[in-house]
Structure 1
């Protein structure tokens, strides 16, 4: 009887711990593709934070499950991530063509097998080795279900392989693809018309090409550039009428400002200017900046 009571108390403890952790994390859990569409429509009124390669904050290694877990302790977020192919055809989460900057290895990702890459450690933004290992794309997709959105940027994975991995996991409610032109958008929508995209439309020429394509506006956000500028207003007006969210990426611009105060001011200005999605290397900072004017 004592053993039964002890086992029961252990189970209660595990439940309480798991529930407490869930409450501390900020998850996006979409049961259907349509539910996800609605969340990322202009009508929802949401301000969306996108972690560029996860985050580089708090000594986290970019492009890793560990970095995304860290962000979700602080805020809801989606994540732009970058898969590459190993020598033996495994999609792994390394941004650069080479291993040198972000791992303890040296050389090109494509020259190593997955078995070899598993032995390496990831580095933080200062170049210090961490206790974290390279993730595969499939590991990341399985982890992300019920927690967040993954937005897969285009590196050296063939479009066909990217589409097949998403299909294999039936991950259309939580895995997006970044597309840089109409041809890439057509490819993914031909594979599955429910596929959600992060579409690059930065110029009038880009916009005209998309309009002439006949592709739908209701399954994408639009990346329009890295900074506030007058010409963005035309984009904001056009896409607002279509119900589409526009994204600014501050990773190459305002993230580089020398003080947290200066960065916070610009993050708030990006949203005030009309963007509904802000992509940053510092998503935890972004979340704090919009909570504390």
Structure 2
């Protein structure tokens, strides 16, 4: 009995996440993922936590930060894969270690074994006990909980395809693509891949259409600020069953901090379906009046 208890305790220490109640997105299969991302008039707006939703005590691109965010709100996570010297994919936004950790210099100059010695800094630059995670660990943490959106830094497309295939993670790992040509490269090699696609204009929309990218596998990032052209673009996307996302970080998160507490509702009223934000906990509180009680997407929100 003592041995069994010891094993249980060790398991809890290794995961570090066993006892927490989380807001989970239940997306078990590629077919369900396509259903989840398909826009309908009865959709339910939600959030993407930019770099995980960093805040005091919780660094960006950190599993513990992701976990903390899900304690407070449903969210997907935009994260930043980069390569170490020995080609291990870790999560780090900058090419250098200085801003977000107590390391110095370029990540590419360190092996994974060396990277493990560094500790991460929180949003105020204070050192924490949290470490730089691997993408492998992030994917396995996310399984059954959320969706990871992989921004493009320096990881080759083929290596990204390889790690998604290795984990059989097509249902809950999405890749960011800036052009229809990039999406086509991925789609030809894995037809189940999901995309966060940069579609800022109707011209870009038609380029994706011409490239043969299935709309059921696309979520559209339309920009960081609502502009007069957006209603027509959003309408075109919605006609194709595509959700439209606005990134709040460059403008709207700053307005929220300045006291404009209704800013997230304003984004949704302008037609966006999904908000990427550095402040997911605050954004969740701000957008609550816009969450319908009844939605054909509610079954995904556990």
Settle same-fold status: TM greater than 0.5.
yes
Q: Distance in 1 between matches of 2:99 and 2:182?
A: 29
Q: Comparing both structures, which one devotes a greater share of its residues to helix?
A: 1
Deviations 1:140-161 (A, max 9, x none): 0011100100000100000000
Deviations 1:79-123 (A, max 9, x none): 000010000000010000111110101101111111111000000
Superposed counterparts of 1:254-265, under 5 Å: 254-257=252-255, 259=257, 261-262=259-260, 264-265=261-262
Q: Is the 8 A contact 2:56 2:124 kept in 1?
A: no
> Displacement, 1:57?
2.1
SS of structure 2 residue aligned to 1:205:
helix
The higher relative CO (CA closer than 8 Å, separation ≥ 6) is in 2
TM-score by length of 1: 0.90
Match of 1:59 in 2: 57
Superposed counterparts of 1:13-162, under 5 Å: 21=19, 24-43=21-40, 45-162=43-160
Match of 1:198 in 2: 196
Q: Is the 8 A contact 2:37 2:216 kept in 1?
A: no
Q: Is the 8 A contact 1:103 1:120 kept in 2?
A: yes
| Alignment partner of 1:279 out of 273, 276, 283 | 276
Match of 2:264 in 1: 267
Superposed counterparts of 1:189-228, under 5 Å: 189-228=187-226
SS of structure 2 residue aligned to 1:55:
coil
Is residue 260 of structure 2 the alignment partner of residue 250 of structure 1? Answer: no
TM-score by length of 2: 0.88
> Displacement, 1:266?
1.4
Q: CA RMSD in A?
A: 2.2
> Displacement, 1:138?
0.4
Q: Distance in 2 between matches of 1:66 and 1:36?
A: 25
> How many residues are matched?
280
| Alignment partner of 2:175 out of 174, 177, 193 | 177
Superposed counterparts of 1:227-242, under 5 Å: 227-242=225-240
SS of structure 1 residue aligned to 2:49:
strand
> Displacement, 1:46?
1.6
> Displacement, 1:260?
6.2
SS of structure 2 residue aligned to 1:49:
strand
> Displacement, 1:292?
5.3
Which of structures 1 and 2 has the bigger CA Rg?
Answer: 1
Is residue 165 of structure 2 the alignment partner of residue 167 of structure 1? Answer: yes
> Displacement, 1:180?
0.5
Deviations 1:48-84 (A, max 9, x none): 2000000112421001111110110011100000010
Query: Any unmatched runs of 5+ in structure 1?
Result: none
SS of structure 2 residue aligned to 1:59:
coil
> Displacement, 1:277?
0.6
